Amino acid sequence: MSQLIFERSVPFRRAVRFDACDVPEVGLDEKYVRQSKARLPEVSEVDIVRHYMELSRYSFGVDNGFYPLGSCTMKYNPKLNEFTASLEGFTSIHPDQSLSTVSGTLELMDNLSISLSEITGMDAFTLQPAAGAHGEFTGLLLIRAYHNARNDNKRTKVIVPDSSHGTNPASASMAGYTVVSVPSNEMGGVDVEALKAVLNDEIAALMLTNPNTLGLFDPNICEISKLVHDIGGLLYYDGANLNAIMGTARPGDMGFDVVHLNLHKTFSTPHGGGGPGSGPVGVKSCLVPYLPHGTLIKETYGYRYIDERDTLSIGRMRSYYGNFLVNVRAYTYILSLGSDGLKAASQNAVLNANYMMNALKDTFPVAYPQTCMHEFVVSLADLKKETGISAKDICKALLDYQMHPPTMYFPLIVHEALMIEPTETESKESMDYFIQVLKDLKQLAYDDPQKILNAPYTTPVKRVDDVQAARNPILKFQHK
């Protein structure tokens, strides 16, 4: 492993030296002066550059290679987005500046909200939530505020299908709801009869991802939304999979009342490694009065933020817009593709996924073999039974081919699952290479399983001992 920046430190080594001070010195009040010297590495410019270059080689991103991490939409992030996000007018502003001095920024936020409303069929958007899960939490608080305002206080439950992303039940329970799980039917969609059985006047909402985490569009969505609305519940759309339907179908038209989008997925802004992301929430007009503080609204003479004056608001979800540049990237992406381009992006994402699914279906059984949307799930349960090689082992072995593994062991309803999402930005050649590597690894699992069990061989960190890591974690750096 490489050295820490502190291990590269040599006393008095510097990257920059300042000229002698040629203006009068100003003393700081003693109480503001540090009592001991700041612990800083003393390094030259080349040390710093090499340090960060080395760290960057330890991580893997879509700029390094194929990244078919299902549900995460690791599409290529066009560098044009970086250009607009680095414009000084966007980077040099402060959240406490008077709104009249940042009208261009506000206009961009307003335009982005309008575009997202159009793409999803909703009436208004808040750009407040910082990521998808935060959007779910926000959306559920909006739903709760809506029911409470109508004195409809019996509604304590939220329905979530068993194929849902883990954040859905987590957000529902954080928002104070009891989670009711509904099973999937044999086609991978919501089991409508099972849904009917749990519908009653205690249901606040149904949360649904459509297409779901199996990459399947639920053909019963209109019936499902009618059933939920008929008992007075609302519909929440987890928009993480919007990359499958942009420009073709809109959650608002399917009957959803609230949606969150993951701009860092569908709208091509870099993610992984912890953010920043952006999880804007769109609502139908019945929920507009409850939107959080900090949501931009347009008035006759300019913009203002929703605040304490708006007494129905659910209140503040976070501080300022520290992730604003994510919104700039997403807006750039929307404008540069245009409505035809967004639709084509989704169509190609679906085409790529179906191409890969058909090329792989004889190697690993596809969990639900009908035509998929932007992703699909294969099961390696047979391989594990016959060779002892698991989905995780195959994923470790993939690392030696400079590709990121697919999502594994999710959704939970498929055993030894690999969930593969190529996205529209991958070429046929890169998909073919991945397909061939998976086929070769399957063969290797029969011929020389130990070789796979010891992989990866070429990464900075080799196969880690999961059990040791869980039982005896070393949580802080130790000098050798």
Ligand X SMILES: *Cc1c(COP(=O)(O)O)cnc(C)c1O
Report the alpha-carbon distance of residue 167 to residue 209 in Å, rounded. 12
Whichever of 279 and 405 has its CB closer to ligand X, that residue is 279
390 contributes a contact to ligand X by CB under 6 A: no
Whichever of 227 and 326 has its CB closer to ligand X, that residue is 326
262 contributes a contact to ligand X by CB under 6 A: yes
Which 68-127 positions form the footprint of ligand X (CB under 6 A)?
71-72
* Residue of 40, 54, 50, 47 whose CA lies nearest to 15: 47
243 contributes a contact to ligand X by CB under 6 A: no
Report the alpha-carbon distance of residue 289 to residue 313 in Å, rounded. 6
Whichever of 279 and 406 has its CB closer to ligand X, that residue is 279
169 contributes a contact to ligand X by CB under 6 A: no
* Residue of 268, 245, 254, 182 whose CA lies nearest to 222: 254
Whichever of 188 and 279 has its CB closer to ligand X, that residue is 279
Whichever of 163 and 383 has its CB closer to ligand X, that residue is 163
277 contributes a contact to ligand X by CB under 6 A: yes
Whichever of 292 and 383 has its CB closer to ligand X, that residue is 292
Q: Which stretch binds ligand X (CB under 6 A): 22-30, 129-137, 185-193, 285-293?
A: 129-137
* Residue of 328, 354, 362, 355 whose CA lies nearest to 109: 328
The footprint of ligand X on this chain (CB under 6 A) covers a number of residues equal to 14
Go through 289-316 and write b for each residue having 16 or more CB atoms within 10 A of its CB, e for each that does not.
bbbbbbbbeeeeeebebbeeebeebbee
Please state the closest distance from residue 236 (CB atom) to ligand X, in A: 11
Whichever of 270 and 455 has its CB closer to ligand X, that residue is 270
Q: C-alpha angle 22/25/30, rounded to 5°? A: 160
Please state the closest distance from residue 143 (CB atom) to ligand X, in A: 17
Point out the residue whose Cβ comes nearest to ligand X.
Answer: 132
Report the alpha-carbon distance of residue 122 to residue 254 in Å, rounded. 11
167 contributes a contact to ligand X by CB under 6 A: yes
Please state the closest distance from residue 69 (CB atom) to ligand X, in A: 10
Report the alpha-carbon distance of residue 421 to residue 408 in Å, rounded. 12
Contacts 24+ apart (CB under 8 A), 153-157: 154/201, 154/202, 155/201, 155/202, 155/203, 155/204, 155/232, 155/233, 156/202, 156/204, 157/202, 157/203, 157/204
For residue 359, how far is the Cα from the chain centroid? 27
The CA-atom distances, in angstroms, between 420 and each of 156, 258, 395, 435 are: 35, 27, 12, 11
**Of 43, 62, 69, 133, the one binding ligand X by CB under 6 A:** 133
**Of 68, 132, 161, 406, the one binding ligand X by CB under 6 A:** 132
Report the alpha-carbon distance of residue 403 to residue 472 in Å, rounded. 30
- Which residue type is seen at 184? S
Whichever of 167 and 423 has its CB closer to ligand X, that residue is 167
171 contributes a contact to ligand X by CB under 6 A: no
213 contributes a contact to ligand X by CB under 6 A: yes
Query: With contact defined as beta carbons under 8 Å apart, do 192 and 185 qualify?
Result: yes
Whichever of 133 and 175 has its CB closer to ligand X, that residue is 133
**Of 172, 224, 240, 366, the one binding ligand X by CB under 6 A:** 240
Q: Which stretch binds ligand X (CB under 6 A): 16-24, 128-136, 187-195, 292-300?
A: 128-136
Report the alpha-carbon distance of residue 144 to residue 413 in Å, rounded. 29
Backbone dihedral region for residue 46 (phi beyond 0: left; psi -120 to 50: alpha; all else: beta): alpha
Please state the closest distance from residue 55 (CB atom) to ligand X, in A: 23
Whichever of 208 and 455 has its CB closer to ligand X, that residue is 208
Token pair recorded at residue 81: 């987005």
- Map tokens 């503040």 to a residue: 316
Please state the closest distance from residue 347 (CB atom) to ligand X, in A: 20
Which 146-165 positions form the footprint of ligand X (CB under 6 A)?
165
Q: Is 459 exposed, middle or buried (0-12, 13-18, 19+ CB in 10 A)?
A: middle
- Which residue type is seen at 442? K
**Of 131, 140, 317, 420, the one binding ligand X by CB under 6 A:** 131
295 contributes a contact to ligand X by CB under 6 A: no
Please state the closest distance from residue 195 (CB atom) to ligand X, in A: 19
Please state the closest distance from residue 27 (CB atom) to ligand X, in A: 48
Binding residues for ligand X, per CB under 6 A?
71-72, 131-133, 165, 167, 209, 213, 238, 240, 262, 277, 279
